[in-house]
């Protein structure tokens, strides 16, 4: 497995653990995090503030289905689940596109799609 794919796996593991230092160590200082339709963040400080979204409690469960690499880009595809502070489960599918500068992630574009709570669809 390439070093870039390994770094993306560490990044995802950091989210599973809500380990801010682990996630931030994967990023450039001027990292961009684009969550289309939701947020556009620039810099590690802004990124750090979104690692644990205040609408949710605890760490998410994240399943990584596959990683695809080409040039300076790694794409991670998977599913996940979190719990809202209201107690409601939130299931989703995700596709994160990581653009590297050197050995670190300079940009993340995160595409999230809600999934039914009844378990239909991917797990």
Averaged pLDDT for residues 84-112:
96
User: Quick one: CATH architecture of 3-115?
Assistant: Roll (3.10)
C-alpha dist (Å) from residue 19 to 13, 24, 60, 98 = 8, 9, 12, 19
Q: How confident is the model at residue 117 (pLDDT cuts 50, 70, 90)?
A: confident
- Every domain of the chain and the residues it spans: 3-115
Bridging pattern class, strands 27-35 and 56-70: unpaired
For residue 123, pLDDT over 60 is answered with: no
Q: How confident is the model at residue 118 (pLDDT cuts 50, 70, 90)?
A: confident
Task: State the burial class of residue 85 (Cβ atoms within 10 Å of its Cβ: 0-12, 13-18, 19+).
Answer: exposed
For residue 36, pLDDT over 90 is answered with: yes
What pLDDT, on a 0 to 100 scale, did the predictor assign at position 120?
58
| Model pTM score | 0.92
Q: How confident is the model at residue 8 (pLDDT cuts 50, 70, 90)?
A: very high
Residue 27 near residue 44, CB atoms below 8 Å: yes
**Which residues are bridge partners to 66 per DSSP?**
77
Burial readout 62-75 (b: 16 or more C-beta within 10 A, e: otherwise): bebeebeeeeeebe
- For the segment 54-76, what is each residue's pLDDT rounded down to a tens digit? 888 999 999 999 999 999 999 99
What pLDDT, on a 0 to 100 scale, did the predictor assign at position 116?
92
Return d(Cα 27, Cα 103) in angstroms, integer. Answer: 9
């Amino acid at each position: 497995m390439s070093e870039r794919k390994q770094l993306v796996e560490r990044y995802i593991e950091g989210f599973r653990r809500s380990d801010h230092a682990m996630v931030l160590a994967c990023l450039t200082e001027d990292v961009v995090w684009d969550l289309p339709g939701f947020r556009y963040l620039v810099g590690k400080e802004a990124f750090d503030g979104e690692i644990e979204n205040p609408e949710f409690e605890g760490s998410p469960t994240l399943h990584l289905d596959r990683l695809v690499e080409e040039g300076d880009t790694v794409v991670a595809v998977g599913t996940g689940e979190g719990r809202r502070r209201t107690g409601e489960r939130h299931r989703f599918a995700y596709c994160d596109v990581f653009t590297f500068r050197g050995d670190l992630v300079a940009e993340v574009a995160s595409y999230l799609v809600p999934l039914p709570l009844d378990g239909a669809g991917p797990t």
